[in-house]
Amino acid sequence: MHHAYFQEVVSHYWLPQWDPQLNEMMLAEVPRGRECVFSMQVKTFVSFGKVEPVMGKPLFGVLMEMARDVEQIIADLETEARALSPFQ
């Protein structure tokens, strides 16, 4: 969350963390029966869970790095296959 403002907040959580067991993120608690007035700006961030060695790293960045690695491996295999090919 980039910015948040809550009226009549009992408590708030900064920076909020995702609770995978409850499948929710607690931002703030307001008194029961009260109207909640809030304004916030949210930035999303998707990361890997408990997968070593990428735990907590940004999903998009890791996948892009993996894609580059795979492209390089394929290019290296093609180069090696051409070098070993009897049909040159």
Identify whether the C-beta of residue 42 lies closer than 8 Å to the C-beta of residue 1: yes
What pairs with residue 3 in β-bridges?
41
**One pLDDT digit (tens) per residue for the chain, 88 residues:** 445 555 665 556 667 777 788 888 877 777 788 777 777 777 776 777 777 888 888 888 888 999 999 999 999 999 999 898 887 6
Residue 22 and residue 35: Cα distance in Å, rounded? Answer: 24
Structure tokens at 13: 């959580």
